[in-house]
Amino acid sequence: MKVYELQKVYFEEAYRTGEHGWPVTEPERFVMDFLKKNKRSLAGKRLLDIGSGEGRHTIAAAMEGLVAYGMDYQFLAVKRAIGFSKGKDIKGSLHFIAGDIFNIPFKDGAFDVLIDYGVLHHIKKPDAMDYINRLPLLLKERGYFILSCFSNRFKHYEGERRKRDWTAHRGHYDRFFKKKDLYEIFADTFEIIDVAEEINGLHAFYHILMRKR
């Protein structure tokens, strides 16, 4: 099986068993800080959470007054996200769809904010530019993009050594980024506003806030 087929099964299992390494309902502070800090200007604005999983950031955005769309290719995750949204104080509006990042079913310029929390680092390097090039097209003028991806300091286990900046293991693909990679990839199209590295035990991530140039 090719890596994306295996990876789809990996995410399917992750949601079926509930055993995955990222929080189910708790949104990340980096996202919440952005939503709270820009609350006034973001009210009624359109946000797409790409690879939204169980919807923690999509729901948070809708609760803060945005017109929030979550998209994921895992039906079970989308179903759970809809379930988690029940009874929440949604001040904007909330929409979930099943869809693939390689075929994002929205028009260019459809969004003011994009979120990718944990998807880009699962895209093979040769395919990533197709996805990355679509992002600024989906955004309106001066739209925001919030990205979270693995830092090259991320380790799966103590003592892990890698010769490359990617690995395929246990049915999925992981790519690791240095801060300078992020600038090389994004700085031409996006103004990079904030880059925070989070190190939590063996796990290390970059959280990046960008704005379309």
Ligand X SMILES: C[S@@+](CC[C@H](N)C(=O)[O-])C[C@H]1O[C@@H](n2cnc3c(N)ncnc32)[C@H](O)[C@@H]1O
Q: Is 129 exposed, middle or buried (0-12, 13-18, 19+ CB in 10 A)?
A: exposed
Cα–Cα distance between 143 and 48 in angstroms, integer?
11
Q: Is 174 in the site for ligand X (CB under 6 A)?
A: no
Residue count, binding to ligand X (CB under 6 A)? 17
Q: Among 34, 35, 51, 143, which residue sits at the site for ligand X (rule: CB under 6 A)?
A: 51
201: alpha, beta or left, given left = phi > 0 and alpha = psi -120 to 50? left
Q: Among 45, 46, 56, 212, which residue sits at the site for ligand X (rule: CB under 6 A)?
A: 56
SS3 173: strand
- Please choose, out of 82-90, 100-108, 133-141, 202-210, the segment that lies near ligand X by the rule CB under 6 A: 100-108
* Residue appearing with tokens 């960008």: 210
SS3 106: coil
Q: Is 120 in the site for ligand X (CB under 6 A)?
A: no
| Distance in Å, CB of 141 to ligand X, minimum | 25
Q: Is 186 in the site for ligand X (CB under 6 A)?
A: no
Binding residues for ligand X (CB under 6 A)? 11, 22, 51-53, 56, 72-74, 77, 100-102, 117-119, 122
